[in-house]
Structure formats: structure tokens, C-alpha cells
Structure 1
Amino acid sequence: MSTVRPRATVLGGAAMALANVILGASSLYWRALSHVSPTALLGYRILISLVTLGVALAVLKRIKPVFDAAFNGRLLLLHLMAAVLVSANWLTFIWGSVHGHVLETGLGYLIAPAVTIVLGAGVMRERLDPVRVVALVLCLIGIILLIARSHELEWWVYVTIGTTWGIYSFLKKLTTADPFTGLTLETAILAVGVGVAILASTYSLAPGPDADTSDFVLLALCGVVSVTPLWLISFGAKKITLSTAGFLQYVLPTTQLVVALVFYGQQPSGNTLVSYATVWLSLILILVYPLLHTRRAGNTATKPPALAEDRRAGP
């Protein structure tokens, strides 16, 4: 058992890290499809992701939970709200990737955990310790500085990404559906919306006059680009602790920062770097303090802390 657990933990951590790298680097994929409008790209992402998820769930024989969730009023409403949020998040991310605002999208994913914590405190009445209060204040200061002084950034991009993903993550904590079931239900809801938009408005999935064969090949991969990170996260989450998963959420915005600097050539000002660092510091406080607190508590317990952690990490 002792030889299997470390190996499983390494595999789980690698899967989660790879998922976040794919998500962070996916800006390059969307930029390669710049001939297609962001709204059309969103439609393709929804429809092709639904097909990909449907095939995956059919192979795994997990179609029934989707129908069970669809006929559960509470779950349907929850995932309807989540669908609206994730569509706004996807559209903003695609727009930022196509138009060269990747620093902003990465910053949004740094802000999102703070939004989730605020919702947990305000809605679920979760108690905030003083360190988390300080962290949230730092995050707010960083955001205000960015909006007020970093004029080279599109502030609405990181605010939209941060709030939609933060609220989406909060809603996902309330659902009893597994990640694949939840995303399939949300994507199905959005697919209905795409169909209605096509029939009732001028919305079109036409890729545009400049699209070529390579664009159609890339469009066909929308589902793989969207679903593969979800599968990796689902696989990895079962094999690592929540604290490890928390640290691995740094990988996505870090990847976005590298992509923005290296591939997009974005040049953040000094004000932007200071504000960015302030938000990073707030997230470090949010993640590190609970670990230190748990370790101190574990040292005084009669049961070895490694055993307690091993149970949390169990499948």
C-alpha cells in the first residue's frame, strides 16, 4: 500500500498540473482560429464539446446520471445558472485569446478563488480567519490598483473571468453531480441556447470568408481541447489532497503569464506587475495559512497527521 500511494499521488498531481497547463496554453489554440468570430467559436465549442462528452459518457456507460440530474429540479436549476456563467467565461476567454489580452485572462483566474471565498462567507456563513480577511483585502487593493493605474489592460476581461469562474466554482461545490455529468448537463443546456439563437436571430456559426481547411480541422478539435483538461482534473482530484490541488491552481495563471509574455508579446507596466504581485500574495496567504494551521493542529493530535491526510486523499 505504501508503494502504491506515492505513485498514485504523483500521477494525480501530474494530471492536475497538465490539465492546468493545457487550459493556460489553450489561448494559443483559440488565437489560431482568429479568422472565426469569438461568438461563433463559442457556439462550436459548446456543440462539439457536447458531442465529445456524449461519446465519452457512452463509452464509460455514464449517460444515466446526466438524465437523472436533468430531471432533478434543484440540480437542473443549479446547472442552468452554472451554464450561463461558464458561457460568459468561455466567451471572454476566447475573446481575450484572439485579441491578445492573455495577461488579463490569467489574472482573472488568480482573482477567482477570492470570489469563491467571499461567496462562501456571505452565502454559506463560512467563518473567515483574520489571515483570510487580510488576503481578501490585499486582493481587492490589487484589483483597484489594476483598474485605476494599469491602463494597458482591459479591466473588464479579468473582472468577468474572475467573477464568473469564482461564482461557477462556488456553484459546483453545491452540486452532487460529478464533473462530467455536470459539464454535460451544462453543455446540453447551452446547446439548446445555441439552437434557439440560430433560429430566432442573426447568430451564425459561419466561420467567415478567410477560413481555410486548417481552421475546420482545428474547429473539430474544440471538444478535445475542452474535455481533456476536465478528464485530467477528474482523474487527478481523486488521488491528491485538497491542499495539493489548491497549489496546482497556480499553474493555470502562471502558464497564461508565460504565454502572454513569450507568445503574445504583452508588456506589463510596473504598476501592473505590482498589482499582479499583490493579487498573487493574497492567494498565497489564502492557500498557505490553512496548511500551517493544519500542521500545527496535527502535531498536537494523537493520530499521525499522515494517516489523516491519507484518508482525505483516498479514492
Structure 2
Amino acid sequence: MSKKETRLGAAYALGAFILWGINPLYFKAVDTIPVFEVLAHRVLWSVVFLAVLLTVARRWRPLRQALRDRKTLYMLLLSTLFISINWFFFIWAVAAERVLETSLGYYINPLVNVVLGMFFLRERLSRWQGIAVGLAAIGVLNLALQSGSVPWVSLLLAFTFGFYGLVRKTIKVESVDGLFAETAMVLPLALGYILYLSMNGQGSLGRVDLQTDLLLVMAGIVTAMPLIWFTSGARRLNYSTIGLFQYLAPTCQFGLAILVFGETFTWAHVVTFSCIWMALVIYSAQSWLLARRRLSSPA
């Protein structure tokens, strides 16, 4: 990648993770609505928003051409599965007042990316990266032992998003095109569920108040923009380099969980988060040094 493309990828990644960091505020605003209904509206309004973008950008022909390739289509089906699971459990966690666990999951995610990059993309795992991954594992193990249960929400979010990013990086489809295809694949289910609720007098859209209607429609923008920026960044950066930015989202979520939502932060959390933070310092320091070397070398 040229220096210009690397800087552009960094800008996309920065914007994506800041937006992800503050989006619990949005999902907290709709936490009185059932999780499946919120998820259905995420899908519906994302399709609408992305369809407008595709029309403006005249991207329908490239999308149709990309979807003619069976391998691309199957990989998009796989990425759809991963992101759908991730969306559902994130919405559920915010509504269940477990934002601290989502924060831990996305702190772990950059280190998950390192491992996935090593196994699937043949990216080398350095000694310091190995130490960072080991510290993260110790932190997760500590929380499991202290609380008596595995932090499954954190691990599920970390791995589903890690695999989603891995699959999307290997697909030669533009970010808007790919995200539209993913949401369109589950649109029949989402739209069918919304219509079912409406026919049975249970849906929230048009039945609560104008603010609720606007919040549900906004789900398309809240969902689409950071994912578009993320996939744009992932296409321009080494997969392990994405981890350099990913701590921004969980840091915002961590602050919201403690300072805004008032979730409990125990000594077990102190030890676990300290291990994760030390791991990220080690990993980020090495990534920063490697990035400086690449930028200082001729394009």
C-alpha cells in the first residue's frame, strides 16, 4: 500500500471505532424495545440507507457483477452470519446492562485479530505479540475463575467480529456494496418479523411516539456508517494493524459503562482489564514502531 492509502485506511478505522464506542448510547435509548425487533429495524433501515448510497454512487452494476461469483456470494453469506450474531448479542448486552462486558470483548478483539491473521492470513506472530495474547488470556481466565463463569458475552463479541472482519478482508467487494448485500440477505426475515408484529399489534414503529419512530429509522445510519468505514480501513491496512485503532471503541464503552450507566466494576474486573490494557500497550507499541518504519520507507 502507498503512504496515501495507508493514511486513508487509518482515517477510516479511526472514525469507525469512535462511532462504535459511543453507539451504546443509541441502543440504550431503544432498550425498552425487544432485541429481535431492534435487530430487524437495523437490517431494514440499513438496506434503505445503503440503497440510496448505491444509487447515488451508481454502484448497482458492480454489485450485480460481484454477486455473480459464487465464491463471493458464499463468503458474503458467511460474513452475514457473523455480523448478525454480533449485532444481536451487542443489542442484548446493552439492554441487559452489560456494557462493561461488551467493552471487554472489544478490548480482546484486536488480539483475536492477531491470532486470526496468523492462522488464516499467514501474518507472522512476533514475540511481543505472543506476550500480549498471553496476557489477554490470563485476564480472561482470571475473570472466569473469580466470577465462576466464562465471560461468554465478551468472547462471543470478540470472535464473531474478528471472523467478520477476516471474511470481509478476503472478499473483493467494496464496503457499501458488501454491506448492502449482507443486510439484503436477511431482509426477508427482518421485514417479515416487523410485519408480523404490526399485524398482531405488537410492533413499536408508529405505535409509541415520534421519537421512537425516528430512533428506529436512525438504526440504518448508526449501523451502516461505522461498518462502511471499518471495511474501507481493513481493505487498506494489514489486518493486525487494525488492532492499533480498536482500543478506542472499548475505551468509550468502558467509560460509558462506569460513568454513565453505573455498572459495577469489581476487583476481578480490575485485574482482568489491567491484563488486557498491558497487553494492548505492548501490542500497540510494537505496531506503532512497525508503522513508523513502513511510513519512513519509500512508497
| TM-score exceeds 0.5 | yes
- Cα distance in structure 1, aligned partners of 2:220 and 2:198: 25
The answer for the alignment partner of 1:306 in structure 2 is 296
Match of 2:59 in 1: 62
Aligned 1:1-315 pairs, distance under 5 A: 16-150=13-147, 155-195=151-191, 206-207=203-204, 211-233=208-230, 246-292=243-289, 298=293, 306-308=296-298, 311=299
Point out where structure 1 has 5 or more consecutive residues left out of the alignment: 299-303
- The Cα shift of 1:14 comes to 6.1
Distance (whole Å) between structure 2 residues aligned to residue 252 and residue 22 of structure 1: 7
* Partner secondary structure for residue 221 of structure 1: helix
**What SS is found at the alignment partner of 1:163?**
helix
Change (3 A) 1:203 1:118: farther
Is the contact made by 1:106 and 1:257 (CA closer than 8 Å) also made in structure 2? yes
Q: Deviations over 1:155-207 (max 9, x none)?
A: 22111101101111111221111211111111111213335667999998722
Contact 1:12–1:239, Cα closer than 8 Å, also in 2: yes
Q: Could you tell me how far apart the structure 2 residues matched to 1:209 and 1:192 are?
A: 20
| Residue correspondences, number | 295
1:306 maps to a residue whose letter is S
Q: Is the CA contact 2:169–2:235 (under 8 Å) kept in the aligned structure 1?
A: no
1:102-128 alpha-carbon deviations (Å, 9 max, x no partner): 111111111122222222323344332
Judged with a 3 Å threshold, the aligned counterparts in structure 2 of structure 1 residues 29 and 198 are, in CA distance, closer, same or farther, namely: closer
Instruction: Give the 3 Å change call, closer, same or farther, for CA 189–111 of structure 1 in structure 2.
Output: same
Q: Distance in 1 between matches of 2:280 and 2:196?
A: 44
1:142 and 1:278 in contact (8 A); partners too: yes
Query: Could you list the per-position Cα deviations for residues 194-253 of structure 1 after superposition, in whole angstroms to 9, with x for gaps in the alignment?
Result: 356679999987229983332111111111111222455567779999898543222111
- Equivalent residues of 2:234, 2:242 under 8 A apart: yes
Name the residue aligned to 1:301: none
* Alignment gaps of 5+ in structure 2: none
> How many Å separate the matches in 2 of 1:213 and 1:202?
16
Tell me which amino acid in the other structure corresponds to 1:160: L
SS of the equivalent of 1:268 reads: coil
For residue 15 of structure 1, report the CA deviation from its aligned partner: 5.7
Give the direction of change, closer, same or farther, for the CA distance of 1:185–1:210 in structure 2 (3 Å limit): closer
- Higher mean alpha-carbon deviation, 127-136 vs 169-178, is at 127-136
TM-score, scaled to structure 2: 0.85
Instruction: Give the fraction of aligned pairs with identical amino acids, expressed as a percent.
Output: 30
Does the aligned pair in 2 maintain the 1:36–1:208 contact within 8 Å? no
After TM superposition, the structure 1 stretch with the greater mean CA deviation from structure 2, 279-288 or 106-115, is: 279-288
Q: Does the aligned pair in 1 maintain the 2:89–2:153 contact within 8 Å?
A: yes
Find the aligned partners of 1:15 and 1:123 in 2 and give their Cα distance. Answer: 24
Q: 1:74–1:197: structure 2 CA closer, same or farther, 3 Å change rule?
A: farther
**Contact 2:18/2:249 (CA < 8 Å) preserved in 1?**
yes
SS of the counterpart of 1:272? helix
Comparing 137-146 and 204-213, the one that deviates more: 204-213
User: Letter of the aligned partner of 1:181 in structure 2?
Assistant: D
Output the CA distance in 2 between the equivalents of 1:28 and 1:83: 24
Q: TM-score, normalised by structure 1?
A: 0.81
Give the match's secondary structure for 2:23.
helix
